[in-house]
A = this chain, B = another copy of it.
Amino acid sequence: MAEQLAGGDLSRLRQLNALAVVRVLRGRSALTLTELSRETGLSRPSTQDVVSQLQHQGWLEEVRPEPGVMGRPARRYRFRSDAGWVLGVDVGGHTVRVLAADLDGDVGHAVRVAVAITAGRAERLAAVDAAVAECLAGAGLTGADIWAATVGTSGLVDAAGQVVLSVAYPQWTGVRLAKHVERLVGGAVLVDNDSRLAALAETWRGVARDAAHVVYLLAGLRTGAGLIVDGRLHRGFGRAAGEIGALPELGWIRAPELLRGWTGVPAGTDPDDVAGLVFAAAREGDRTAAAVVGRYARELALGAAALVLALDPQLVVLGGGFSRSADVLLGPLRREIEQRCVRLPEIVASTLGDDAVALGAVKLSLDHLREHLFDPRTGLASPVPPARRLIA
């Protein structure tokens, strides 16, 4: 075992060294050869060798010295985070959102396209096509530049990227979402549940960055949950984890209806706009609205408490559309959960707003690339869109 490592062959060693250099440079500004050598533990000649190779392959580029620097400054190299791109797509009830991001996850372009909640399958897929096309054009990219894309949707999704059960959108059960989006981009296409992707986004760029155990609540016109266990997205054995809302005893099915039932709403209001009016009225001191918010919080807390008691998370994140009204919702929710739990986790509102699902989709795409392109077992692939068959 140890003997084999000691005699490891040269090309394998070069791959490991190249990965070490890329790992040090990713998400950082430029470094000199001396700095790279120190941080990787490689000798100076080895570092020089690896950097030349990576530069040739297109993974690194030399950075021009800043003007005004005296003498001959040392050459500095940076990781070409724009060598490849990923997409994050959120197929929502009223909106399709698409983010294009580089390999560091920096968002280059964002697009949202409206779609009716009543839209059938073809209409919703057409909105996806339009949003992806607009986002690519806006970012100056083509589908061939996209190394990986992830699509978030409500409902249960299987490993092949098909929606196997959805009650939120008409004609959505059975849609082969991965196959559909694979027509649009060069790289692999992943599909996952939207609550789950939003939870992932919170651990990446949201309020859950330091938490290994997280319950994310998608509170909006629908109610859902995404779970982070031991720092990782928990999907379960059959990709059906987090579906606590299906248990009638726990109130998530009727919860949004409670808000729509507020009697203070003007006649003719779009049912989807009622919740915002209730929260606004509660904020301004309307007691009947506050009572409705309290009842909603109680039903939301039942399912949340079940998840908290089951998993004992460090953090509960209130996300989804209603998290914009966290100022009136968070207090009652916290009280209702507290009454039911053995150990009370921290309960905070998301700050990612409506981008949470699409951001989580970007993150899952990047995680996929990290596993398949920056893998110590296989080494680095060149920065050309990898054939779908190779990394899917």
Chain A residues at the B interface, C-beta cutoff of 8 Å: 1-6, 8, 13, 16-17, 20, 40-43, 46, 156, 165, 211-213, 225, 227, 229-230, 232, 234-247, 249-250, 302, 305-307, 309-314, 340-343, 345
Contact = CB atoms under 8 A, between A and B. Distances in A.
B240 A213 contact: no
Contacts of A212: 237
A2 B379 CA distance: 13
A236 B1 contact: no
A8 B16 contact: no
A247 B1 contact: no
B250 A236 contact: no
A324 to B, nearest CB: 26
Contacts of A232: 230
Contacts of A211: 237
B247 A311 contact: no
A240 B343 CA distance: 7
Given A41-B4, A165-B342, A234 B229 contact: yes
Most buried by B among A46, A310, A340: A310
B302 A249 contact: yes
A3 B313 CA distance: 41
A247 B302 CA distance: 8
A246 B341 contact: yes
Contact of A312 (B5, B13, B237, B306): B237
A42 B240 contact: no
A8 B8 contact: no
Contacts of A156: 342-343
A267 B240 CA distance: 48
A6 B6 contact: yes
A243 B345 CA distance: 14
Given A42-B1, A305-B247, A306-B244, A311 B20 contact: no
11 contacts: A3-B42, A3-B43, A5-B5, A5-B6, A211-B237, A238-B312, A240-B309, A240-B343, A244-B310, A247-B302, A247-B306
A249 B250 contact: yes
A20 B6 contact: no
Contacts of A2: 8, 13, 16-17, 20, 42
- Give the 6 A-B CB pairs with smallest separation, nearest first: A236-B312, A237-B314, A241-B312, A2-B16, A240-B312, A240-B343
Contacts of A235: 312
Nearest to A340: B247
Contacts of A345: 237
Contacts of A237: 211-213, 312-314, 345
A296 to B, nearest CB: 17
Contacts of A245: 309
A246 B224 CA distance: 22
Contact of A17 (B1, B246, B310): B1
Contacts of A240: 309, 312, 342-343
Contacts of A306: 244, 247, 250, 306, 310
A235 to B, nearest CB: 7
Contacts of A341: 246
B307 A310 contact: yes
Scoring A42, A213, A227, A342 by chain B CB atoms within 10 A of each residue's CB, the highest score goes to A342
Nearest to A315: B237
A353 B275 CA distance: 52
